[in-house]
Structure 1
């Protein structure tokens, strides 16, 4: 009935029972409260109460959200643990060695994609990065030419409308 929980919590921590969803028995994910003051995960309430016409409202109390964000979790990609739940997304985006990343030269069309721990090895042999200065110049010239074409098209349109 409930979906897979997105967090793996550290087993040795005490979790306040007031933060536990009555449906999935895990700390709230996207916490909501119902009209009758039941609290739980939005996903759980949506599935569990789908046959009833119950309105849910997001829980916005700072203290509840901060307590949830302070819970310690494990990154399921790299298995690093004791990461604050509120910091997990930043960990995945900035430092998780097993997160999927693009080459630093992706902006100039390098197609490489892999895990962060392999990025440095790739960058050392990337054939796109040495081309950056030349490509940057070509891209700038292309942009200027497009702008010039746009201006000329406006002039042509004005000229043809007069005649």
Structure 2
């Protein structure tokens, strides 16, 4: 059977479709007939059945390889008269049935070493003699080595090209990532600047509130000192008025001592509040420092910071309420002391009146009584 690559059909489009294989869409070659009278190329229908497709390609009737028969003589004769062109000598006007004889007798043949530039071309009768004496056969090994080396270089170049493309892709990816990182860093810097501004405003506001609270505390301390001095003055006045009665003087002294204890208690409470305020201020400063260092995590810590500020506000409000209570207690103590002074003045007047009455009733003892007093 001839190789269809050795020739090509002349005016293939003029061949009747009845002589075209429906599998390969080429003119019939070694035609085989099925029991259903459909004709195909011998190789095409054999490969079709070998693919376990046991049906006719045209009508899909069951088909086995043993049922294939050679086409009749008329079909073979028509197919054999198809005009072909020899691809070796480019001779046309050949019948396909004569092509094998043409190849063996008339068609020149080239040397097997033509791929390494052997120029010999001749008839088949002289081919064996040329093969025996062809000098290009000695170059086959060298040429094969060069071809292998060339192939290795091509593969290496192809691999390096792939590596270069891969490296370029990685570089481009890194560039894209770098650009994205730069954009993210710029956004982060802007967010950080805005966050620092907001924190600075909040810290300044909190510092101003602390300063106002300290100013109020100083005013309260000044008022407390004034009340303390007034209490000491009242104490001195009370001590000066004790001469009328030792018992009454002891009572007044006890009351003043109790008042001093209460005043000292209030003073200790104020000192304790001041210490709490200083400790709270230190704690606030430390928390502010932590907030600066944790600016990146501001979104997560902002709620906690707001809670701390709210607690500070509550503590300040509680301390203000406590100071108002202390102020009210001091005012009550002041009024109580004033009442004590009034009572002392009243007692003194009563004592003087009693002395005058005693002088009137007991004139001889008046001098002695006054000296004892």
1:105–1:86 CA distance, 2 compared to 1 (3 A): closer
C-alpha contact (below 8 Å) 2:20/2:26 kept by paired residues: yes
Question: What does residue 159 of structure 1 align with?
Answer: none
Q: Which has the larger helix fraction?
A: 2
Shift of 1:37: 2.2
1:121-148 deviations in Å (ceiling 9; x for gaps): xxxxxxxxxxxxxxxxxxxxxxxxxxxx
Equivalent residue number for residue 26 of structure 1: 26
Give the deviation of 1:5 after TM superposition. Answer: 3.8
Matched, 1:69 2:97: no
Where in structure 1 are there 5+ consecutive unaligned residues?
114-163
Deviation by residue 1:48-107 (Cα, 9 ceiling, x = unmatched)? 122125231111x2211111111100112111112111111111111112367243886x
Structure 2: how far apart are the matches of 1:47 and 1:104? Answer: 35
Q: Displacement, 1:43?
A: 0.4
Does the 8 Å CA contact 1:71/1:85 hold for their aligned counterparts?
yes
Over 3 Å counting, the alpha-carbon distance change for 1:36 and 1:104 in structure 2 is closer
Partner residue, 1:103: 126
- Given that 1:20 and 1:26 are in contact with CA atoms closer than 8 Å, whether structure 2 keeps it comes out as yes
3-state SS of 2:26 partner: coil
Match of residue 64, structure 2, among 42, 54, 65? 54
**Quick check: 1:72–1:83 contact (8 Å CA) kept in 2?**
yes
What is the TM-score normalised by the length of structure 2? 0.26
Change (3 A) 1:87 1:20: same
Cα contact 1:28–1:41 (8 A) shared by 2: yes
Q: Residues 99 and 37 of structure 1: is their aligned pair in 2 closer, same or farther, counting only changes over 3 Å? A: farther
C-alpha distance 104-49 of structure 1, shift in aligned 2 (>3 A): closer
Number of residue pairs the alignment of both structures matches = 107
Secondary structure at the aligned position of 1:103 is classed as helix
- CA 1:68–1:12 in structure 2 vs 1: closer, same or farther (change >3 Å)? closer
Q: Would you say the 8 A contact 1:10–1:74 is kept in 2? A: yes
Structure 2 unaligned regions, length at least 5: 55-62, 112-123, 135-373
Give the aligned partner of residue 116 of structure 1.
Answer: none
| Counterpart mapping for 1:76-155 below 5 A | 76-98=87-109, 101-103=124-126, 111-112=132-133
Q: CA deviation at 1:13?
A: 6.3
Whole-Å Cα distance in 1 between the matches of residues 11 and 109 of structure 2? Answer: 23
Q: Distance in 1 between matches of 2:37 and 2:12?
A: 30
Q: Is the CA contact 1:35–1:54 (under 8 Å) kept in the aligned structure 2?
A: no
Residues 1:17 and 1:112: Cα distance change in structure 2 (over 3 Å) = farther
**Residue 40, structure 1, aligned to residue 40, structure 2:** yes
Is the strand fraction higher in 1 or 2? Answer: 1
Say if 1:13 and 1:94 are closer, same or farther in 2 by CA, change over 3 A: farther
Q: CA RMSD in A?
A: 2.8
Bigger relative contact order, structure 1 or 2 (CA pairs below 8 A, ≥6 apart): 1
1:28 to 1:48, Cα distance in 2 relative to 1, 3 A: same
| Helix, strand or coil at the partner of 2:76 | helix
Distance in 1, Cα, partners of 2:12 & 2:32: 26
* C-alpha contact 2:109 2:127 (8 A) present in aligned 1: no
